[in-house]
Amino acid sequence: MKPQYRIDLDRLAGTAAVAKSNADRLGVRLLMALKGFPLPAAFPTLAPFVEGVTASGLFEARLGGLMGKEVHVHSPAYADGEMDALCETCSHIVFNSLSQLRKFGAKAKARGASVGLRLNPGFSSADCLKYDPCCPDSRFGVMADEMCGDLGIVDGVHVHALCEGYADDFAGMVERLASLLETPSVRPLLTRLKWVNLGGGEVINDPGFATPRAVAAVKALKALGNFDVMIEPSEYMVRYSGTLVAHVLDVIRRKEKDIAVLDVSASCHATDLLLFDMRADVLSPAQSDAGRKTILGCASCLAGDVIGEYGFAKPLEAGDEVVFGGLGCYSFAQQSWFNGIRHPDVVLVSKAGGERTVLSWEYEDYLREFWRGR
């Protein structure tokens, strides 16, 4: 028995189809942000629904190139030695600051990339400051009142202000951006903009996401100029296609409740559960409010490495399988080797293709991670 991340390709295609339908109704182009789902084995499933990918740096950009479509990249800053490789890989390169634009923009333009500048729209809807790109003292993007100098090489603007953003959040952000684009400091860009990227964070798997207000907001934005508009969701395109399959190694029976020790770790394999005190969905075994309470603990030495407390219809036993849902995003993308705990295999599942393991980890991989000199 080994832990697994299982990706249901049929469900992934279903969610991507909903995302594409919403994008079409909004009148925007659909990209896929790789940061939460860097899995090229699933690219053939996603490719029919998206026009390209967005990356957060050079390695992601190279990975995204495997899809064979547009590759957009944005990062808080690029290193001196990266720009040549980025220009070879990316169709669009977004700069986070005026200083980075001045440093690298001309080179990117000369190499054929479409040059973008990230704006900070000052719009916040996220509940958690750690997840809010427009939080106070944010390092992301240029503020409207900071715009200055010759911006003639800029083809597009990028904003990203949402986290778990529903339709009204999205519409509010778009309305705010439209207002900013008409301010005196930003207006000179309007006449030459070729594209506007509205970023990610949209709950794009909601069939009703394209509300009249959201559609109207995008229409009003597009009326300001002659440019394409795009979005780049990630989490809600892939989240519910992925599960984490764990196994019970031991059960400690206490007077009031049981403590099950699993062969996975929230610290290693689902970091959001610890960082933001999130409760994981348990898909199996069956739960019951009347069942004896069981704490699902992990195999690491971290005292707080606990997934949560649940009631099960039957008491857990060593060898039982526990399946956690909603972990298609930011799971294998963020896993660590803390305590040397084995990474879960990555398994693709579909009705047409059955099961296929596309990543498997052994001691040699752990050794390679920490001993470069062998």
The pLDDT value recorded for residue 124 is 79
Where b means 16+ CB within 10 Å and e means fewer, 334-372 reads ebeeeeebbbbbbbbbbeeeeeeeebebeeeeeeeeeee
Ranges of the chain whose pLDDT falls below 50: none
Cα angle 230, 56, 28; round to 5: 5
Q: What separation, in Å, do the N-terminal and C-terminal C-alpha atoms of the chain show?
A: 30
Residues 85 and 73: their CA atoms lie apart, in Å, by: 12
Which residue is it, tokens 């394999």?
269
Where b means 16+ CB within 10 Å and e means fewer, 86-112 reads bbebbebbbbbbbebbeebbeebbeee
Q: What separation in angstroms does the CA of 278 have from each of 106, 188, 217, 242, 353? A: 44, 44, 32, 17, 33
What domains can be seen in the chain, in order of their start residue?
8-238 (3.20.20.10), 239-370 (2.40.37.10)
Cis link prior to 3 (omega < 30° from 0)? no
Residue 314 main-chain phi, psi, to 5 deg: -125, 140
The pLDDT value recorded for residue 45 is 98
Q: Let me know: does 173 contact 123? Beta carbons within 8 Å.
A: yes
DSSP secondary structure letters along 216-236: HHHHHHHTTSS-EEEE---HH
Exposure of 224 in the CB half-sphere (CA atoms within 13 A): 26
Residue 185 main-chain phi, psi, to 5 deg: -75, -25
pTM for this model (two decimals):
0.93
Cα angle 240, 246, 251; round to 5: 135
User: Helices in 4-112 by DSSP H: which ranges?
Assistant: 9-26, 43-46, 58-64, 83-89, 98-110
- Token readout for 359 is 């990543």
Residues 6 or more apart whose CB falls under 8 angstroms from that of 137 comprise: none
CB atoms within 10 A of CB 210: 21
The pLDDT value recorded for residue 372 is 67
Residues 68 and 65: their CA atoms lie apart, in Å, by: 5
